[in-house]
Amino acid sequence: MAVVSGLKSPEVLVPFLGLLYLVLVFLYVMISTNFAPFSLIFVPFMVLFLASAYGVWRRKKIGYVGSTVVSGVFLVLEGTQIFEALGAVTIPGEFFSVLTAFPVLLAIFVYSVLGLRRVWGKTTASTPVRMIPASSLVVLLILGFIIGGAVVGSIAASTETRLLSSSGGGDITIVQGAGSQNNPQFYSPSSFTVKAGTTVTWVNHDGTAHTVTSKGSSLFDSGNILTGGSFSYTFTHAGTYQYYCTIHPWMTGMVVVTAA
């Protein structure tokens, strides 16, 4: 009886299901980006999340310690890098996963702390067991959605501002949604003709980072061009120069350089 009620308690179910959900979100991002190099940073986290979920399910101290630490660290990071990284990925369902990540993390963290206190107190049998009512969980999730929505909204707004402030100036535009394979266009124009000695400038008008990298040679490589950022290269010799994006290899374009 004690075991059954233990398995059903929210201190087990909330962190366990929450961690599994986030692992699925990571997996979704990885698959959606065709396992792009940057998405592989999720792999160690996925292992950590799965290990914590297993530990929580078995009601192990170490499981709750892991669950508390990973959710706590992610909550802190999410306002800054993780949110930016996830939010920068142009994939279908991106908004939903970013929006849900925050309340889920918050719920995992709170219930992990509670579970940790409970598991820790297991040796002292007299410790009274306090359960949180289900209504508190609902309030917690709603609160998380509001905070998550505000963060996503402000990131979207700042991205918009950066996009607007960087409008114009470039010869070739990296168009919005270029990271998605289904986008009709990536670099606009996809073929650009100049005379030798001309400096060509690419401007990134997409919400995610891209690169401009020469194909089959190491002639030029922009590195990550962030939203609103630009990259310039001067073509000195006539020829046809194919280039692509190392993050999204399906993004290709070319510059045709004619004799001066």
Binding site for Cu ion (CB under 5 A): 210, 245, 247-248, 251
C-beta closer to Cu ion: residue 205 or 248: 248
C-beta closer to Cu ion: residue 86 or 247: 247
Question: Are β-strands 198-204 and 191-195 bridged in parallel, bridged antiparallel, or unpaired?
Answer: unpaired
Closest separation in Å from C-beta 179 to Cu ion? 5
Closest separation in Å from C-beta 180 to Cu ion? 10
Closest separation in Å from C-beta 226 to Cu ion? 11
C-beta closer to Cu ion: residue 64 or 241: 241
**The two three-digit tokens of residue 258, written as one number:** 């004619």
Closest separation in Å from C-beta 220 to Cu ion? 15
Cα 154–147–138 angle (5° rounding)? 155
Count of positions (residues) in the chain: 260
C-beta closer to Cu ion: residue 183 or 232: 183
Hey, what long-range contacts does 170-173 have (CB within 8 A, 24 or more apart)?
170/201, 170/202, 170/203, 170/230, 171/200, 171/201, 171/202, 172/200, 172/201, 172/202, 172/203, 172/253, 172/255, 173/202, 173/203, 173/205
Longest dimension (CA), the chain: 88
Number of Cα atoms under 13 Å in the Cβ half of residue 217: 7
Closest separation in Å from C-beta 164 to Cu ion? 21
C-beta closer to Cu ion: residue 175 or 219: 175
61-77 vs 10-32: helix crossing angle, rounded to 10: 50
Closest separation in Å from C-beta 192 to Cu ion? 17
Return the amino acid letter for 63. G
Question: For 131, which DSSP code?
Answer: P
Closest separation in Å from C-beta 178 to Cu ion? 6
**The two three-digit tokens of residue 51, written as one number:** 């290990």
C-beta closer to Cu ion: residue 16 or 220: 220
